[in-house]
Structure 1
């Protein structure tokens, strides 16, 4: 059903009788697995930074002579990464009449004409609360897309909106790019996993995850379960149910995500990722508050600022340029 860009009234949002089913999927597996809209870290500004550092390579010739002077000092250099929080703001509004007429049911014609012709009960007793919940769900879906595919925008003034950079944009080191569309293979996945593991990612088995859309999920199942005859299992990560597959680099979660680009497979160390929330003093994060009264309707805005912290980008990886349908023989 289409939405309406207007205050809800008895004509544009009529009541009906019977159980209420959602037509649109509301799952947000990446956001949910790393903390959701109620978890994560707190920011103290619109720009959120974190630090990274490395250690020198192990040296088999590092031994010292007995009685030798101390060697020259060495220091490790810290690096920094950054992202911005983006604003999510929605408005809901319901007329006084719409709130009062909760037991007025619409038939096949005009809501008013058929108002008393259908017996039953309304599964939505409070229209304002219901519309608010749907806006929160929609914000969660928007954030999920931003965290995956967002392109960071850090404007110098308020003429354009801030946008948080997604995990796919952040990955620069562990990348497998197919110049021409290519079918996903076991070798592609293992080569990427090896690169990520070598650089310190996917060290925590419970949070090491392959994330992809429907077609690439089928290819992963075919490569690692059907052809290898491994047993596919399931487990729960941050409240999200995932399947697991055996690889040379441990048992990895496979998370099906409808917002992933169809030609991409993501390797993500979920333990390195977190939502970052900028709280408004006295209000918190993602709050609802009434707007000024201008007529016979209640209006409220939902407001929150959120960004993605992805840790060291070398802890993640991606394969791009994959085929998205079966290749004809």
Structure 2
């Protein structure tokens, strides 16, 4: 197995017999939960924005005497948050011969005509689309924002983990095991900073190591913290844990950094697409003919909207 650069032929894309098993993971739980490759929002610019607004501090007994004149007027200004769509572009090319020779085998000669891939071009396009979806997932998590001044540099969307700056629970780069105290401290900080923590859309998103650690941490040792049944959030099956701040999902995402757990409000996250007229969002289209092959381009422009970053939290420096 391996990557093929350039045109696919009968020499570098051989057929084999029997069931075809995919060995590379392609799941994108974060992207799937917030809209997927066909959902989310649309933009008509390479840059898009949304707004945040705060409220003044309230106090007890904020009252006046009878007959008081109206006070000076007050108002709250709003702030803009922006991101950019990044271009995902790829191509697939398969020779005429390779498309036709579905009965030509490169493995053992067992006589059976049981090649499961009877349309090489479609199979390669589907495989590349799956890879591009994983690219989007990884950008939405860890993407480093880049808004270039000219076309010599690619646009890069800001990922969720990069966007979280307020509710960060770090340990100065020194790894530590996750604990109830760390989870409680993070949720408490988020609550204090205005995170709404809705139980139906908040998840603790993590990779396999931290998922095991969380499951071991939230055992049935106490009624309050025992794990609860699995449920479905945004079309993705998740486990749940009971915390002092609510019952939240635990979303396993293999593309999360090893030593991090993100507390994410999925309800304010969405992919934002620059829809190409007459073509759509993430699409495949044939390119001009130059010889005895079919070459298709795969293309899409997408960025992440994540609401107010204070709605999310990030636990870092975990062992």
Instruction: Work out the CA distance in 2 between the residues paired with 1:118 and 1:137.
Output: 32
Write the mapping of 1:148-297 to structure 2, written as runs, cut at 5 A: 148-179=141-172, 180-228=174-222, 230-297=226-293
CA contact 1:28–1:144 (8 Å) conserved in 2: yes
Paired residues, number: 316
Q: Do the aligned partners of 1:285 and 1:304 also contact (CA within 8 Å) in 2?
A: yes
Does the residue aligned with 1:322 lie in a helix, a strand or coil? coil
Correspondence 1:321 to 2:317: yes
- Contact 1:107/1:118 (CA < 8 Å) preserved in 2? no
SS at match of 1:98: helix
Alpha-carbon offset, residue 219 of structure 1: 1.3
State the TM-score, normalized to the length of structure 2.
0.96
Partner residue, 2:123 = 130
C-alpha distance after superposition, 1:154-181 (max 9, x if no partner) = 1101111111011111011001111211
Q: Is the 8 A contact 1:17 1:118 kept in 2?
A: no
Secondary structure of the structure 2 residue equivalent to 1:178 = coil
* Inter-partner Cα distance in structure 1 for 2:107 and 2:118: 18
C-alpha distance in structure 1 between counterparts of 2:288 and 2:227, whole Å: 59
Q: Is the 8 A contact 2:17 2:107 kept in 1?
A: no
Structure 1 segment 28-107 matched on structure 2, within 5 A: 28-107=28-107
- Helix, strand or coil: the match of 2:214? helix
Look up the SS of the partner of 1:182 in the other structure: coil
How far, CA to CA, are the matches of 1:26 and 1:226 in structure 2? 33
From 266, 273, 296, give the equivalent of 1:300.
296
Partner of 1:111: none
CA shift, 1:55, in A, is 1.3
Structure 2 residues not aligned, in runs of 5+: none
Offset from partner CA, 1:212-233 (integer Å, 9 cap, x none):
1111111111111254461431
Who is 1:310 aligned against? 306
Backbone CA RMSD of aligned residues: 1.3
Q: Is the 8 A contact 1:202 1:268 kept in 2?
A: no
* Whole-angstrom CA distance in 2 between matches of 1:242 and 1:68: 56
Moved over 6 A (4+): none
TM-superposition CA deviations, 1:247-280 (whole Å, max 9, x none): 0111100011111111111011111110000011
* Distance (Å, rounded) in 2 between the aligned partners of 1:32 and 1:135: 17
Distance 1:187 1:125, change over 3 A: same
Alpha-carbon distance in 1 for matches of 2:278, 2:4: 32
Tell me the TM-score normalized by structure 1. 0.93
Where in structure 1 are there 5+ consecutive unaligned residues?
Answer: 109-113, 324-329
Offset, 1:106: 2.2
Q: Distance in 2 between matches of 1:205 and 1:57?
A: 26
Distance 1:141 1:253 in 2: 22
